[in-house]
């Protein structure tokens, strides 16, 4: 992670770490209070351990007498008492770690830092809040899988013999499975087909379901992402859109082809697509363009990524917006 971190994302991440730490200590305090009431024997042993620990630090600071021997004795005493506490807790029907603070991150004990560097848990939270900030400007509405209306797809074969409703229920089932089995190394998907066939709708369902499962999903139209990236690049804003997109668990680039063809846009798009392929992390791209229109607009090296490295899905049917309009007029 570079130093170009959004201050808002940093502050949110730091305060979440702090509240995790506070929560661990609050829970410990509650457990201590409960034990002192219900099992005074354990409580007095626990206090003896605390006293031995204080004696130990005093001995280390004072550095007098046979210091090594004293330290060894105190350490031994503490160890024995800790083992005794575990046994007693079990006897009283408590888990043996009931009087140990339980941190969300055992690596940094919810301090956020290890040897002066940000712990991975802290970086993960910064990533999460950076993507959330990015998604705040997304105008696309998110939907649930239950909202998908299969009736809007015809069950009459089209000129090529394909039944849109059958094809769409197949795509829907595969997308549900994608969500159910999603991992940070899932495959990438490429949705193409005419306007108004539900590509954005399905993408938004995947985004919503995975955000609810706790994944870090960046979702917006490619055009909006690139406008933000351009503003960052020319210092009209101080975000880090490209880095946030590259680091998200899943990136959904909606409506490829809606953006202007500029050298900046083309190289940024290639950078995002290619870096994520190299990192073996998933991206979902959707487009209304046909394969020949894509070939006209983009470099071979971009197209070959989609056709060679993504699972492609062609959407079939008649523009749903038109069908909905007709249904309303009836």
List interacting residues with Zn ion (CB under 5 A): 105, 107-108, 119, 121
CA distance 120 to 78: 32
Backbone φ, ψ for residue 252 (5° rounding):
-115, 110
Q: Identify which of residues 14 and 323 has a Cβ nearer to Zn ion in the complex.
A: 14
Backbone φ, ψ for residue 19 (5° rounding):
-70, -30
In whole angstroms, how far apart are CA 209 and each of 142, 181, 188? 9, 12, 17
In the complex, minimum distance from the CB of residue 103 to Zn ion, in angstroms, rounded to a whole number: 8
In the complex, minimum distance from the CB of residue 133 to Zn ion, in angstroms, rounded to a whole number: 22
113: alpha, beta or left? (left if phi > 0; alpha if psi -120 to 50): beta
Within 8 A by CB and 6+ apart from 217, the residues are 131, 135, 207, 210, 211, 248, 249, 250, 251, 252
Q: Identify which of residues 67 and 107 has a Cβ nearer to Zn ion in the complex.
A: 107
CA distance 220 to 159: 34
Q: Identify which of residues 28 and 227 has a Cβ nearer to Zn ion in the complex.
A: 28
Q: Identify which of residues 24 and 119 has a Cβ nearer to Zn ion in the complex.
A: 119
Q: Identify which of residues 204 and 247 has a Cβ nearer to Zn ion in the complex.
A: 247
In the complex, minimum distance from the CB of residue 115 to Zn ion, in angstroms, rounded to a whole number: 12
Considering only CA atoms, give the Rg of the chain.
28
CB 49 within 8 A of CB 157: no
Backbone φ, ψ for residue 117 (5° rounding):
-105, 155
In the complex, minimum distance from the CB of residue 27 to Zn ion, in angstroms, rounded to a whole number: 18
In the complex, minimum distance from the CB of residue 128 to Zn ion, in angstroms, rounded to a whole number: 14
| DSSP string for residues in 75-135 | HHHHHHHHHHHHHHHHHTT--TTTTS---S-TTTTTSSEETTEE-HHHHHHHHHHHHHHHH
In the complex, minimum distance from the CB of residue 271 to Zn ion, in angstroms, rounded to a whole number: 30
Q: Identify which of residues 105 and 289 has a Cβ nearer to Zn ion in the complex.
A: 105
In the complex, minimum distance from the CB of residue 124 to Zn ion, in angstroms, rounded to a whole number: 9
Q: Identify which of residues 105 and 229 has a Cβ nearer to Zn ion in the complex.
A: 105
Task: Strands of the chain (E only): list them.
Answer: 113-114, 117-118, 188-192, 217-221, 250-256, 283-287, 310-314
In the complex, minimum distance from the CB of residue 319 to Zn ion, in angstroms, rounded to a whole number: 50
Q: Identify which of residues 89 and 108 has a Cβ nearer to Zn ion in the complex.
A: 108
């Amino acid at each position: 992670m570079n130093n170009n971190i959004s201050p808002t994302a940093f502050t949110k991440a730091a305060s979440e770490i702090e509240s995790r730490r506070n929560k661990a200590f609050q829970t410990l305090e509650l457990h201590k209070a409960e034990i002192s009431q219900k099992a005074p024997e354990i409580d007095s042993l626990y206090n003896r351990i605390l006293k031995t620990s204080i004696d130990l630090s005093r001995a280390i600071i004072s550095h007098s007498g046979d210091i090594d021997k004293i330290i060894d004795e105190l350490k031994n005493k503490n160890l024995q008492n800790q083992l005794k506490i575990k046994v007693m807790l079990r006897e009283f029907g408590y888990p043996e770690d009931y009087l140990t603070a339980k941190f969300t991150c055992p690596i940094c004990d919810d301090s956020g830092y290890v040897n002066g560097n940000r712990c991975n848990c802290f970086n993960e939270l910064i990533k999460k809040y950076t993507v959330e900030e990015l998604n705040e400007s997304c105008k696309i509405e998110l939907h649930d899988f239950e909202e998908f209306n299969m009736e809007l797809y015809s069950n009459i074969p089209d000129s090529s013999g394909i039944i849109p409703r059958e094809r769409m229920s197949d795509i829907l089932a595969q997308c549900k499975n994608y969500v159910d089995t999603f991992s940070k190394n899932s495959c990438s998907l490429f949705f193409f087909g005419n306007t108004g066939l539900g590509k954005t709708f399905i993408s938004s369902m995947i985004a919503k379901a995975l955000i609810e499962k706790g994944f870090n999903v960046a979702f917006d139209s490619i055009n909006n992402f690139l406008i933000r990236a351009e503003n960052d690049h020319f210092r009209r804003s101080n975000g880090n859109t490209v880095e946030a997109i590259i680091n998200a668990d899943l990136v959904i680039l909606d409506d490829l082809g809606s953006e202007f063809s500029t050298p900046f846009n083309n190289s940024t798009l290639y950078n995002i697509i290619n870096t994520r392929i190299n990192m073996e992390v998933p991206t979902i791209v959707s487009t209304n363009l046909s394969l020949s229109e894509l070939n006209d607009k983009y470099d071979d090296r971009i197209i070959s990524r989609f056709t060679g490295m993504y699972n492609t899905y062609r959407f079939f049917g008649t523009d749903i917006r038109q069908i909905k309009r007709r249904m309303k007029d009836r």
